[in-house]
Amino acid sequence: MKKIIILSVGFFFALAFYSKEETMTAAAIKDEHKNNLTDSVQLAEYIKKLKFKYVEDSYEDVSRVIDWNEVDDLLLKQNTRCCDGTIFYAPDSLFKIYLIKSETCGIVCDPHWESYIVAKDNHKVYQSKIRFLSDIQNIAKLPDNKYLILQTSYMNVSTGKETSIVMDCRTAALISLKNDSLFFLPVLNKTTDKKVLNDFFNTNAKGLELCQPENFSTEKPFYNFDEKTNELNYGFGKRYRQNNTDSLVSGILVYKNGEFLSLKRSAVFVEHK
């Protein structure tokens, strides 16, 4: 997978708990892809659309040329951080993903992602304004022309009145290209594997997601895919508040005959003292 961090367009805002105001700057563009200049221009356009979408209800005069300094001021007033943009390329360069990240802040800051999956020569947008892809760590090509997309994210989960915990998450998504169309597929197909693994994973529109509380351990949750063996290794911690225990979960999924199967799993329970 080729990855080019192209643009950070907009601003960071300073909240009371920030020691100083941060600013977002444009990163240098590396010549890693023949279309990278065209792609970076397209990314900038996607970012502008998202920035204006955040403020369009407050923007008073849409009949004139948009004043982007005014847009930035409005974003600052509503505590919105926008936007970081990154382009990811498939290993065989058949498609690319424009990924845009923003944050809206109140008591806590919540991340938002928006992405576009586009054909290599820009002739077709396969998927637009996708909400469920997050920070991409790797795109691996599988033997039957499917692709595994590994991602990281975080989310704030409410635990009571004005309290929340941060969940550190990893997600595996599976996509395929067929007849010039792109499809998102379930990572697990076998009913038995779903039944066994649902106790540990979240299986949803995002794919196969594992999360652990940010303060659970110094060890981070992980997905690691070995392209030689087609094995997806995973590990994370799970907290059971009802019986005051934690579990350390690990295992391996293997890609075989067009689907992921559970090859190995283990859970070690640790009781709180």
Beta bridge partners of 268: 248
Q: Is pLDDT of 47 > 50? A: yes
pLDDT (tens digit, 9 = 90+) per residue, 176-204?
A: 988 778 888 888 876 656 656 666 677 77
User: Who's near 205: CB < 8 A, 6+ residues apart?
Assistant: 132, 184
Nearest CA among 10, 18, 161, 125 for reference residue 76: 10
pLDDT, tens digit, 9 for 90 and up, residues 65-79:
788 888 889 898 888
Helix (H) or strand (E) holding 52: helix 36-55
Least confident of 16-30, 59-73, 98-112: 16-30
pTM value is 0.79
pLDDT digits (tens, 9 = 90+) for 131-143: 788 999 999 999 8
DSSP 93: S
What was the pLDDT predicted at 219?
A: 79
Q: Which one-letter DSSP state was computed for residue 218?
A: S
